[in-house]
Structure 1
Amino acid sequence: MLFTELGLSEPILRAIAEEGYTSPTPIQAKSIPAVLKGGDLLAAAQTGTGKTAGFTLPILQRLSSSKASSGKRLLRALILTPTRELAAQVQESVMTYGKYTGLKSAVIFGGVGANPQIKAIAAGLDILVATPGRLLDLMSQKCVSLDAVEILVLDEADRMLDMGFLRDIKKVLAALPKKRQNLLFSATFSDEIKSLADGLLNAPELIEVARSNSANEAIAQLIHPVDRTKKQALLAHLIKGNNWKQVLVFTRTKHGANKLVTQLEKDGITCMAIHGNKSQTARTKALADFKAGKLTALVATDIAARGIDIDQLPHVVNFDLPNVSEDYVHRIGRTGRAGSNGVAVSLVCVDEHQMLKDIERLIKQKLPQEVIAGFEPDPNAVAQPIQLRSQQHQQSRKPSSQKSGSSNTNSTRGKPPTKRSSPPKKSFSR
């Protein structure tokens, strides 16, 4: 299938073609026609399959083909995302593929000054991309009106629930017109997502292009058993010994991320960390340097790295296994995206054996293990309790204990594809 067969206008097709893309991914091929029909949609697909373009392209089509009834430029589409970086990436997609439509858009999120965002809204917008916290802040200041919104998108809805945004989402919904199109995109169809969809969507079309909680088959997964005290040395050995040029490393905590960066730098490995305690400027710079190849390793916590989208990222390393098994799938989904192959390596010590069992149960497969010479784990090692924030995090996954959250967190899925030399026909990955 080609984009020219999906009912998109010439200005949008021209923008897509300029980026070198002709063929939609499966989620795009299904969701674009569904959104163009005007009905509600509940869509799930593995991360990296192009969900963002699955809603940005048809929204651009719908808004550009019809004018607001008043003739004035009114906010007609609202896209809610859980994190700053993801919001910025979605806005990039809107701007890249809407550049010939005449539509205006802006992005708002916390962690930066509000005045430029307020001015952008006041100048008139068709599309607003926002994190819930900053949107509610500006709504309370009467700086933004949602009275004319025709299309609402909840992107990464599962992560918004994980982060405790349910209350904020309900406040936003209460301010929207009753008659509107609702699009809910998620990595999985969890019970919480189904509950949210039941209360939000009206006879939605259901799209699911991959089994929930499954790992991408394009990703080679491998476990390296190792003692907890030798993890850093093993990671440095893997990076240097295999000449890895670009590796995304996950740690369990912010402190752990900072400590690992210090240790890797001593080993001569260029790296930076991104997590919630880093400023927006620092996170943006770290991600940009990593994408540009200036850093070998980017060390991140789960929330900070949710949705990071890097073309052909070859390696992901779980320095620590995640507290929540589902996050393993999201983590390794940073590689093996849109048809490319990737490798996901996990360094597992005796403390994490139960976590590994939980992950294998979730993904319904036994992961291969390889002991690296010189890093053999002590067979007599005794597991120690892991100092977790997990109890609080896991409770936040339950609807009964969700609480209002801040928008000052991090992620980046949804970036439009970068222009590059390629064959004339290929799959569109965003």
Structure 2
Amino acid sequence: MSLEQLKLSKPLVSAMTAAGYLSPKEIQAKTMSRILGGQDIIAIGPEGAGKTTTYILGVLMRLKYGFEEAPRALILVPTKEKVIEVMEQFERLNRNQTIRIVGLHADGSMEAQINELTDGVDIVVAVPSRARAVYLKLGLNTNKIQMLIVDDAADMVKLGMQLPINELANSIQKCQHLIFTEVMHDRLDLMIEPFMKLPTTIEVEDLGDSETETHTQLLYHVPNFRTKLNLLNLLLKDAEVFDKVVVFVNTRLTAQTLAKDLFDGKADDVFVYKPLFFDEAGFDAIEDFKAVDEARVLIIANEGLPTLDLSGIPFIFHFELPVQKETYLTRIVKQGDEDVIAITFTTDLELPQVRKIEQAIGKKIEVAELPEDLLVEEVTKASAQKSKLAKEQEENESYHDAAFHKRKESNAKTTNYGIGQKAIMNKKKKHG
């Protein structure tokens, strides 16, 4: 497909070609006609799929002239860095010098930003909290907005930006809404449902050209931290299968808390790697853990962690996903003939990290069905957490008070941990 087939103007085709875009991305081919037609869209695609360029082209096509007093397009992004990135992209592609673009973020003077808006603007690119603050000071006129765009929408939810986004959306009487995100989940749907009008959902996948050989991987999608804990307790009860296990979390405090919560702190085979307190059961070297038969579970914090030799350990759990996907990849990329099962727990808020990992390894991680006897807990503000990190996560989770909703077809469950899975694991043990 050629750029001309996107029905772009000649100046935009020329600008795209000059910027090195010789053909449209899949997401552009699938969404552009709908954007130009004024339809509400939810566009889902991985990092690098071309989402930002897609809506910039759409905005420039729909706003063909400038010199308006009030903005006609409001683009909401999660960070100052993203504001700058989008502004630079507009500068590369916008050949119409009459169209004026203003960026709003917390590092700039609000008074200066309001003055800039008052001078006349066509497109506003903003962090939601700053856009809302400027709006409340009567500095942002939303009466003429024709397009409201929310980019990196899943990141917005993770950062707790639902309130300013909804307030800004509610301030606009009628416009086209475009949502761009790496993943779609229940919390994001809760945020956008009040203002979206019969949207079309378009999803593209770009898993790369090559597939990396990894250990066997299973992904459990759960609603919250407490359900993660219940699931880990449930799986690890089977000591015959899970006879030697490492569990990765992100902080040493979480590791300490998890050790106390597992089996109500009564298990004598659960240990912490480099524990915070001298009287806590733990190991300072992973080789010592491997050598002690009675030590079955070792909880390890990613925080300041050196590279560990995980050879000889048949089960690797990621209770929390590390911040850097490279940390995860070093543990699941297959080295030699050793057979390992890597089991990952994820909530809605961690799904973007999962998608980045899948893109890096060139394949989808198999989604496992939650066990029937798993206690899936509702999240409430009264939920007791024993660590600061768990409390913070609970507060984020309380935004969504439903226990767990049906996932999208693309996230469909494909594996059940039961007799079949146990057989796979037992077979692995016999031949390991």
Q: Same fold (TM over 0.5)?
A: yes
Displacement after TM superposition at 1:81 (Å) = 1.4
Task: Give the conservation status (yes or no) of the 8 Å contact 2:187–2:400.
Answer: no
Q: Which is worse superposed, 321-330 or 35-44?
A: 321-330
Letter of the 1:220 partner, please give it: T
C-alpha deviations, 1:47-101, integer Å up to 9, x for none?
221111121111111101xx47xx6343000011122222222222222211445
Following superposition, the deviation at residue 116 of structure 1 comes to: 4.0
2:94 alignment partner in structure 1: 98
Indicate whether 1:181 and 2:203 are aligned: no
The Cα of 1:46 is off from its aligned counterpart by 2.1
The superposition leaves residues 342-368 of structure 1 with CA deviations (integer Å, 9 ceiling, x where unpaired) of 569xxxxxxxxxxxxxx966489xxxx
Aligned partners of 1:324 and 1:390 also within 8 Å: no
1:134 CA drift (Å):
0.7
Q: Secondary structure at the match of 1:129?
A: strand
For 1:62 and 1:11, the matched residues in 2 are separated by 14
- CA deviations 1:149-189 (Å, max 9, x no partner) are 1110111222222222222122112221x221111122222
Partner amino acid, structure 2, of 1:7: K
Match of 2:241 in 1: none
Match of 1:46 in 2: 46
The answer to whether residue 202 in structure 2 is matched with residue 207 in structure 1 is yes
2: distance between equivalents of 1:53 and 1:166?
24
Change (3 A) 1:46 1:398: farther
Match of 2:352 among 301, 307, 330: 330
8 Å contact from structure 2 (residues 148, 169) kept in 1: no
The Cα shift of 1:387 comes to 6.3
Aligned mates of 1:15, 1:4 — CA distance in 2: 12
Deviation of the 1:109 alpha carbon: 1.1
Q: What percentage of residue pairs aligned between the two structures are identical? A: 22
Corresponding letter in the other structure for 2:118: A
Partners of 1:11 and 1:363 in 2: CA distance:
49
Query: Does the Cα contact within 8 Å between 1:81 and 1:87 map onto a contact in 2?
Result: yes
d(CA) in 1 for partners of 2:114 and 2:105? Answer: 11
User: Residue 220 of structure 1 corresponds to which residue in structure 2?
Assistant: 212
How far apart are residue 217 of structure 1 and its match?
Answer: 6.9
- 3-state secondary structure, aligned to 1:399: coil
**SS of residue matched to 2:326:** strand
Equivalents in 1 of 2:105, 2:114: separation in Å? 11
How far apart are the structure 1 equivalents of 2:142 and 2:211?
A: 42
Which of 139, 152, 169 is 1:156 aligned to?
152
Matching residue of 1:147: 143
> Is the partner of 2:42 in helix, strand or coil?
strand
Any gaps of 5 or more consecutive residues in structure 1?
235-251, 265-300, 306-314, 345-358, 365-384, 403-430
Change (3 A) 1:82 1:324: farther
Match of 2:78 among 71, 79, 82: 82
TM-score (norm 2): 0.55
Tell me, yes or no, if the aligned pair for 2:100 and 2:123 is still in contact at 8 Å: yes
Deviation of 1:11 (Å): 1.5
Counterpart for residue 63 of structure 1: 63
Number of the residue aligned with 1:246: none
Given that 1:139 and 1:145 are in contact with CA atoms closer than 8 Å, whether structure 2 keeps it comes out as: yes
The amino acid across from 2:132 in the alignment is L
Q: What is the aligned partner in structure 1 of residue 116 from structure 2?
A: 120
SS in structure 2 at match of 1:220: coil
The 1:399–1:218 alpha-carbon spacing in structure 2 relative to 1, beyond 3 Å, is farther
| Deviation of 1:334 (Å) | 5.7
Aligned to 2:163: 167
CA distance, structure 1, for counterparts of residue 49 and residue 210 of structure 2: 12
* CA-to-aligned-CA distance 1:299-336 (integer Å, 9 cap, x gap): xx85xx9xxxxxxxxx8334999984556653476689
Task: Using the TM superposition, give the Cα deviation of residue 139 of structure 1 relative to its aligned residue in structure 2, in angstroms.
Answer: 1.5
Aligned to 2:416: none
Distance 1:113 1:221 in 2: 50
Please say if residues 395 and 401 of structure 1, whose CA atoms lie closer than 8 Å, have aligned partners that are also in contact. Answer: no
Distance in 1 (CA, whole Å) between partners of 2:127 and 2:50 is 20
The answer to which structure, 1 or 2, has the higher relative contact order (CA under 8 A, 6+ apart) is 1
Q: Distance in 2 between matches of 1:63 and 1:165?
A: 27
Give 2:104's aligned residue: 108
Query: C-alpha deviations, 1:93-136, integer Å up to 9, x for none?
Result: 22221144531112111134334433432332111011111111
Aligned partner letter, 1:171: E
Deviations 1:250-276 (A, max 9, x none): xx89xx4xx68xx99xxxxxxxxxxxx
Say whether the 8 Å CA contact 1:326–1:362 is kept in structure 2.
no
- Any idea what the Cα deviations from partners look like across 1:390-413, whole Å, max 9, x if unmatched? 5523542453479xxxxxxxxxxx
**Structure 2: which 5+ residue stretches go unaligned?**
216-245, 249-271, 275-284, 287-300, 308-321, 332-342, 370-384, 403-432
CA distance in 1, matches of 2:211, 2:74: 34
Normalization by structure 1: what TM-score?
A: 0.56
Name the residue aligned to 2:314.
none
Code of the aligned partner of 2:38? G
Residue 16 of structure 1 corresponds to: 16
Who is 2:5 aligned against?
5
Distance 1:332 1:400 in 2: 21
Structure 1 residue 316 corresponds to structure 2 residue 308: no
**Distance between the aligned counterparts of 2:131 and 2:71, measured in 1?**
13
Do 1:316 and 1:332's aligned partners in 2 also have CA atoms closer than 8 Å? no
Larger Rg, first or second structure (1 or 2): 2
Q: Give the deviation of 1:17 after TM superposition.
A: 0.9
